[in-house]
Amino acid sequence: MTNTALFTRISNLPHPIQNEVMDYIEFIIQKYSKKEAKKHPKAGCMQGTFTLSPDFNEPLEDFKEYMK
């Protein structure tokens, strides 16, 4: 079917049906359009953002009585 034939057929439809055809065309365009892939962060992308104190693995003063 040529564009002219398609246009002629749609033009001859009542206005409410033309609106339905337009809605359906929009639906088809969205359904088959290429969707952008989500970008996933790569391993190590946060490197250097956080620092740990030198005594990170040392026991905490608050828990000394529980550690006995």
In the chain, where are the structural domains located? Answer: 1-30
Whole-structure pTM value = 0.47
The per-residue pLDDT for 5 is 92
The per-residue pLDDT for 16 is 94
Model confidence at 14: pLDDT above 90: yes
The per-residue pLDDT for 34 is 75
The per-residue pLDDT for 58 is 85
Q: Which amino acid would we find at residue 27?
A: F
Model confidence at 18: pLDDT above 90: yes
Other C-beta atoms within 10 Å of 47: how many?
Answer: 7
For residue 21, name the pLDDT band (cuts at 50, 70, 90): very high
The DSSP 8-state label assigned to residue 7 in this structure reads: H
Q: Which amino acid would we find at residue 8?
A: T
